[in-house]
Amino acid sequence: MNVAVAASRLGLSAAYVTRLPKNPLGRMIRNAARLHGVDTSHIVWSDGDRAGLYFMEYGAAPRRSAVLYDRKNSAISRISPGEVRWADIFSKTKLFHTSGITPALSSSAAEVTREALSAARAAGIITSIDLNYRSKLWSEAEAQACMTGLMEFTDVLITTEEDTYRVFKIEGGDYNEVAEKLHSRFGFKVVAITLRQNISVWKNNWTAVAYDGERFYDDQTYELEIVDRVGGGDSFTAGFLYCYLTKGDIQAGVRYGNACCALKHSCPGDLNWCTLEEVESLIAGAGRMRIDR
């Protein structure tokens, strides 16, 4: 949903596919996506389940921030193969994006993730995955067993050095070597590695690189004063995919992804409220310290 919202705000047509409880909380989640222009017509509604929750505890040096997940028996964790009409959805789709968090929720969610990626590949559309390893949801061995099988359906992988090692046991002398090893092993069209340097809980440096098997694409590093970092990686994904789809330009994708991510850190909550104009203004060097009146 974070990626769909950010992509929609950049100007793409985006849809959110999930399974939600048919109650006020489920409708609130649906309406939050609709507020930003995201198509929610493909949501599967459940009568007897609950919405998964997580609680964010914000830290301050020397105490780090922490997340508590409350997602057991959530509606999406109980999704089953055949519930979503992927063929209908993909008949009007250019790209399908998902995250490593979804298959971590349950064995049936993992089956549906594979079902979706397989259907996307059969439909001839681009697929992308954010590896997004979460140790509080599954073990490294479980993630490796599941995610390795999904890579055969993946065109674009977005990951970090840390997640790459924890899931695939791939490491290198630097992030460029990690990207090369990922590309060599799985044959992606593009692999992007996001790079976050934690100066403190509330100050980070951010950049990313991409590799297509022939060359590396990099960008400036943004110094971030953080309002909320949750959803930053999702915003990079949205900015990258926006350029990948509209321009066919990986270099521009890295620039737009980094700028979109940097701006997300200034927004409270998971969702990115920035616009395409703001992203392009930041890329052009308009980091303003005064109020824009």
Report, as residue numbers or ranges, the catalytic residues: 234
CA dist 245 and 12 (Å) reads: 9
Q: Residue 100: which of 45, 164, 38, 37 has the closest Cα?
A: 164
174 Cβ contact partners less than 8 Å away, ≥ 6 residues apart: none
Helix axes 232-246, 2-10, angle to 10 degrees: 50
Q: Which two tokens stand for residue 120?
A: 């996307």
* Long-range contact pairs involving 87-92 (C-beta distance under 8 Å, separation at least 24): 87/119, 87/123, 89/15, 89/17, 89/42, 90/119, 90/120, 90/123, 90/125, 91/123
107 Cβ contact partners less than 8 Å away, ≥ 6 residues apart: none
> Collapsing DSSP states into helix, strand and coil, what is residue 145?
helix
DSSP calls for 178-210 = HHHHHHHHH--SEEEEEEEEEEETTEEEEEEEE
